[in-house]
Structure 1
């Protein structure tokens, strides 16, 4: 397998993760319209987002176990087909219970696809380029972060919310034959019971990585889940532009992270990322508390916020795969679970402090980012050994 083909495969795999990410984020763009159509409150309709995240977080390691023996190409193609059909079901759902059921099915398809796409991308390249391949695949998710909500809102305005979900289904089903065309045959892994697989959690290096994913994503999403009131609280009127800048920063941060991790190591990338996040959140808290209206600065800080949020994932995945290469798909799936757990943590914390004011919202995010920085520094030091001066955590 020549290295010239690796970017092509990685980009096609990223098309699938873009479909997964769009599916996860798109509902926020048309939640009021969906609630009205299903004759439920917006809070009730929002449970479809919660259910998707919960099913993904729990289902990811379970799906890694149940699908272990399937050939990788067959698994990835089947997962995209399931994702597409589930979204068609969501688009046609006549009631909230049916919608919830189809969202669970979509989450299981997503949980089967994303971790294995990352593991396959890593296996098709050299160790020196592994983080870059991972960053391309994760880039599909970060691009969906940038475009998912505005695209969902635009599609809902032009086609209705059902049409928007149908477009996600088409995207998923279109990605399936593309993945089949570019991936070589690759065998699955031996069947291993879930309890045995989860024994990897006793690995000290894995235990260092996963809690940091939860904490870091919690810091990133404390304010993002409430981005509209949060941005209005710092004097921003062009909310769409600020969300675009956040997304552009997320894409750039993810791609730079892949290169930087290969070049300088995951520890340096995470230290820089959490430092930037803490400073950006702290500056936004100061702007909100002072009542100043500085939209240009807010735009720069929004881009830094996005970049620091999504520079975490390639570095963290690289640390996990290096720590447990024989269980690459499983540890990446556990990291995906940790990402969604962190998003849930951040969303809950943000909801609790939002009533106290936007300054407290950003302040809570800054505190979590600072805590993430402290954990990153301590785990990097713990990973450094006299015999391991070229550790992936260096």
Structure 2
């Protein structure tokens, strides 16, 4: 006979369930970018209009993360997390059968509200479940779901979109959501209720120039990356003439180095310091964008994406650690706002890229010239983020490392 699971076993079960939930959320957030080639072809819309699906979703997640955090204070977290995954699954199932772009846009908008709820609330729950000596490792573990989604989700979406159509990629997210909801229901204990964040905490964050500068670094980094990344699938197809397998392989390659960067971060962040990790990560991304015109083949693009992959995910993770160290007493508000900044950056970058693509098309640019200038836009954002990050680090040093 087997007895009741131990506290350690229950914690392990919850960590794996929440990690898979984040993997599912990450796959859903990335599904449009991964299957964008077939989506614009099937719905007969331009690349610029297809990219607006990414921008609109990012805006919703940006506004939703802090708003929902303020509204769900008294909810049982087990029910809340399961409900968000069920909503995610239903939304992606309906999106898979949307007949037109006009029908898909509101469905996509409503679906991603779940992402604004699940990821920050999963982190808050893990902070409650795990003992102090395991709290940091447990939170990092569940965020690995996003990294794994970048390794597996993007290539799968790309391959499915090219081989079977974007609707099947959306359908896969619906199936994953159902599985994640069941797993979280089975693994999570009932009765976990967290208090709503205090209004005073929000006020202190919003009026602190250094903390807001660090959060702005996150937004600028996201804008720089998504100025290009939102349109990278059609870029691979139209400019590099990559086929479905090569496009999928490039996404897998990028995600693998993103995961490697996160693993290296967890090993060296205490030794090097979060601010230096952020500066190094941003510099790696800036280097990739600077030499972007040199990537004239699939192999050259794979080499170019190595620095970006190593820095992209590590930068966001280091930003979370940086904010937590700068003002631990404001961690809840800072994490929610930093999550919002990630999505804000994605929205700004995707929208800016859309405007540039539309302008190129309006002047009669051919397929190869449709994406001219995107990497320069992205580089400008990253360089601005580096400058602001250095200023914030020096300001904190003058205050003894605390906000």
Q: Does the CA-based 8 Å contact 1:77-1:179 persist in structure 2?
A: yes
Q: Does the CA-based 8 Å contact 2:49-2:354 persist in structure 1?
A: no
Write the deviation string for residues 238-257 of structure 1: whole angstroms up to 9, x where unpaired: 44333322111112122322
- Cα distance in 1 for residues equivalent to 2:8 and 2:68: 30
2:388 to 338, 359, 375: 375
**Residue equivalent to 1:171:** 176
- Cα distance in 2 for residues equivalent to 1:149 and 1:101: 23
1:21 to 6, 23, 26: 26
Give the Å deviation of 1:26.
1.1
CA-based RMSD: 3.5
- Cα distance in 1 for residues equivalent to 2:85 and 2:287: 39
**Residue equivalent to 1:181:** 186
Give the Å deviation of 1:308.
0.8
Indicate the larger mover: 71-80 or 109-118: 71-80
**Residue equivalent to 1:283:** 291
- Please, which runs of 5 or more residues in structure 1 have no aligned partner? none
- Cα distance in 2 for residues equivalent to 1:159 and 1:234: 22
- Cα distance in 2 for residues equivalent to 1:42 and 1:234: 14
- Cα distance in 2 for residues equivalent to 1:364 and 1:37: 29
**Residue equivalent to 2:261:** 253
**Residue equivalent to 2:251:** 243
Q: Does 1:335 align with 2:338?
A: yes
- Cα distance in 2 for residues equivalent to 1:384 and 1:2: 40
- Cα distance in 1 for residues equivalent to 2:142 and 2:305: 23
Q: Does the CA-based 8 Å contact 1:217-1:342 persist in structure 2?
A: yes
Give the Å deviation of 1:350.
3.6
Using structure 2 for the length normalisation, give the TM-score.
Answer: 0.80
Give the Å deviation of 1:113.
0.5
**Residue equivalent to 2:306:** 303
Q: Show the 5 A alignment for 1:45-124.
A: 46-124=51-129
Q: Does the CA-based 8 Å contact 1:119-1:328 persist in structure 2?
A: no
Indicate the larger mover: 238-247 or 358-367: 358-367
Aligned residue pairs, count: 385
Indicate the larger mover: 167-176 or 140-149: 140-149
Indicate the larger mover: 180-189 or 311-320: 180-189
Indicate the larger mover: 225-234 or 71-80: 225-234
2:378 to 337, 355, 365: 365
Give the Å deviation of 1:342.
1.0
Aligned to 1:68, the other structure's residue is in SS state coil
- Cα distance in 2 for residues equivalent to 1:83 and 1:97: 19
- Cα distance in 1 for residues equivalent to 2:373 and 2:136: 35
Write the deviation string for residues 224-275 of structure 1: whole angstroms up to 9, x where unpaired: 2232465589968544333322111112122322333344321121122112
Write the deviation string for residues 89-135 of structure 1: whole angstroms up to 9, x where unpaired: 22233444443332222111111101112233344446676554444
Write the deviation string for residues 270-295 of structure 1: whole angstroms up to 9, x where unpaired: 1221122222322334x26xxxx576
Give the Å deviation of 1:353.
5.4
Aligned to 1:18, the other structure's residue is in SS state helix
- Please, which runs of 5 or more residues in structure 2 have no aligned partner? 1-5
**Residue equivalent to 2:206:** 201
Q: Does the CA-based 8 Å contact 2:161-2:168 persist in structure 1?
A: yes
Give the Å deviation of 1:305.
0.8
- Cα distance in 2 for residues equivalent to 1:215 and 1:262: 24
Aligned to 1:311, the other structure's residue is in SS state helix
Q: Show the 5 A alignment for 1:316-355.
A: 316-323=319-326, 325=328, 328-351=331-354, 355=360
Indicate the larger mover: 359-368 or 10-19: 359-368
Cα 1:95/1:311, change in 2 over 3 Å: same
Q: Does 1:148 align with 2:153?
A: yes
